[in-house]
Amino acid sequence: MRILLASSEVHPYSKTGGLADMVGSLGKALARDGQRVGIVTPLYLGIRERFPALRPVGPELDFSLGVRQVRGEVWVLEAARGLTIYFIDQPQFYQRAGLYQQDGVDYPDNAERFLFLAKAVAHLALQLDWKPELVHLNDWQVGAAALLLHHQSRLAGSAHAPRTCMTIHNLAYQGVFPASQYALTNLPWEYFVPDGVEFYGHMNCLKAGICYADVITTVSPRYAREITSEEFGCGLDGLLRQRQDSLVGILNGVDYDEWKTTGNPYLKYPFSAADLRGKADNKAGLQAEFGLPVNGETPLFGSIGRMVEQKGVDIMLGALEEMLHANIQFVQIGSGSTVFQRAFQDLARRFPQRAAVRIGFDEGASHRIEAGCDFFLMPSRFEPCGLNQMYSLRYGTIPIVRGTGGLDDTVIDPKEDLERANGIKFHEYSGQALAKGIRKALALYESPDLFHRFRLNAMTSDFSWSRTAARFVELYQRALAANQP
């Protein structure tokens, strides 16, 4: 099968979150499975220097963006057998310090930047000599490519345009812009209607993908159900209910080549389900790294991620305010809202022997927190998939999660199946409910045999990308078969 993926970020070339991990890992897994794969993504600042094997290919890109004519180039990198990365080089748009923002504020020309990317995706989908059969679009930044390809199929006949798959990674981010920005598409205004890209008088790039893609996916089965409800639908639940027959939840995988407990350059002490001694050593090292008393008997809780309301940091603060009076320790790295950053820093100042917080992101420290902690906190208000709970499971760190989205799909609570239990769930969105979950964790910690069984269940959970890629191939084949004459 010939598949062209498209994303505004792809690991290891660019990254702000799980979107980059998903697209990079899926591309590798599909190519490893024997598919012909390309990935289209912007050439951001610094990529060319870090990957000197990049080379330019013709022809030059030349697109209308409203009344402007904007040019760019395509650079390629043969990342692996059967996997080519197509970088879109447009220095005015992509040679910037941040991918989407500067100092926490979105770039004012994001509509232009990403409609140019969407046009490049559609152009390559139609012009590449290996003729992609299916284009897999990821999130709002490339959603308009589904509309562009739909329009092309109307002009030239459906046989001349590849099929499209649209993956929603987080419905809360939709790429909504003033109606005037629709002119940048250079498409007929007949698409700017409530059944098309119009959204309460604005242009909605994600809605374009949902309306015009052949199939739609989300990053977990439960999230696929949740987004058809008013509570989680972010204004698009009606449209998603209309397209429910084309909507599938496929759980993201984990790249176990990177997230591993042996042969990991970020971990000083390797360990495995068969020999957990290195985990205790990693715990001691983590306590020392974060300036906490080194004590193997004290249960250590961790958190990694964005300090925003979606991640449940408000209820985490409330629960920790209570639970840090008990004999526990807590470490965290992340960044986000200034209010939340200051609140966690204040917590660490008031509990210096029990809590340590580091603002920012550090890949190595992320691995060490996953490896050294006993428990991992993920009390998300909503969570399309989540990756850290799956990383935690592989590292034998028991996740404490709110039962929503992908967290509910991946973590098994003892009330659901005691023999297979690998974590702790709560459902009410409150600090009290999370604190209760932490108290359950402390009781589990005091039962060594049961705690060991949880760890073994966690470490033997399988969320490999090979399984996820196989699900996508089945979906791609369905999309292609549905459009056969």
pLDDT digits over 393-407, tens only? 999 999 999 999 999
- CB of 43 closer than 8 Å to CB of 87: yes
Pick out the chain residues at pLDDT < 50: 485
CA-CA distance, 261 to 360, in Å (whole number)? Answer: 24
- Tokens at 348, concatenated: 């660490």
Q: What is the pTM for the complete model shown? A: 0.91
Number of CB atoms found within 10 A of residue 313's CB: 28
d(CA 127, CA 170): 30
Provide the pLDDT for residue 155.
82
pLDDT of residue 485: 46
**Alpha-carbon span 162 to 6, nearest angstrom:** 14
Distance between CA atoms of residues 160 and 447, nearest Å? 63
6 contacts 41 by C-beta, under 8 angstroms:
yes
Structure confidence at residue 159 (pLDDT)? 57
What are the chain's domains? 2-253+466-482 (3.40.50.2000), 277-462 (3.40.50.2000)
d(CA 274, CA 53): 41
